[in-house]
Amino acid sequence: LNLTKYEGDDVSIQCKHHDEDQKSFCKAHEASMCVKDGDSLETIRDDRFSFSDEASTGVFTVNITDLREEDSGIYWCGAPVIMKVSLKVNM
């Protein structure tokens, strides 16, 4: 999934999961930028990131508001099938 957005935009990323215990959303190469099961593991304690879960459909949505250029990068989401998300935030 390739997404291109602009600073200040919002984005919603849908990720699949097969098990309620396996929802995760991580920024590649930055272990500290990881949200798992809706809880921040470390530095995504940012209120710009939020989860909504439609458990019955096996999909959870990660919402990021007020995008910044530094949010650009590769993210991995879902479980056990991992989806690669490339997010580019332009000024």
State how far Cα 43 lies from the chain centre: 13
pLDDT of residue 26: 83
pLDDT of residue 41: 47
pLDDT of residue 3: 97
CB 87 within 8 A of CB 75: yes
Answer whether 0.85 is exceeded by the pTM: no
**Tokens describing residue 23:** 């929802």
| CA dist 77 → 8, 12, 82, 90 (Å) | 22, 12, 6, 22
pLDDT of residue 44: 54
pLDDT of residue 85: 94
CA dihedral sign of residues 76, 78, 79, 84: negative
CB 8 within 8 A of CB 67: yes
Read off the pLDDT of residues 19-75 as tens digits, 9 standing for 90 and up.
Answer: 665 677 888 876 666 766 555 544 455 678 887 777 778 888 888 999 999 999 999
